[in-house]
Amino acid sequence: MSFVEGAAEGALETTSVASPAGMRMPLMQVQRGETVRVVKIGGRDATRRHWIELGFVPDAAVTVVTESNGNLICEVKGVRVGLDTELAKRITVIA
């Protein structure tokens, strides 16, 4: 099953980055300067597809560049992307 096909299940997820030592958390809990990997994207189909188009795909490295009032600026695949708190809660990452 592809990452996009998983949309029918209500969330997109990969198991390739999960490890017993890894800790899953919402992206909004990641500290500035820390790089993590995408595991799951929750939300509506259109929202998930939008994040896929921006590079938030399984195993993609995401670095939190800065945070202000819960809003994040992250770098993914060499591009900086702004996320509000609600969107950052829907992206599950692993450290």
**pTM of the shown model:** 0.75
Digit-coded pLDDT (tens) for 10-62? 554 444 444 445 799 999 999 999 999 999 999 899 989 999 999 999 899 99
**Among the listed ranges 19-23, 83-87, 89-93, which one has the minimum average pLDDT value?**
19-23
Q: At 91, is the pLDDT very low, low, confident or very high (cuts 50, 70, 90)?
A: very high
Residue 68's H or E segment, with its range, is strand 61-68
Nearest Cα neighbor of 51 from 19, 11, 23, 15 is 11
Provide the pLDDT for residue 20.
Answer: 42
pLDDT at 22: 79
pLDDT of residue 11: 52
**How far apart are the C-alpha atoms of 60 and 53, rounded to whole Å?**
12
What average pLDDT does the segment 1-11 reach? 45
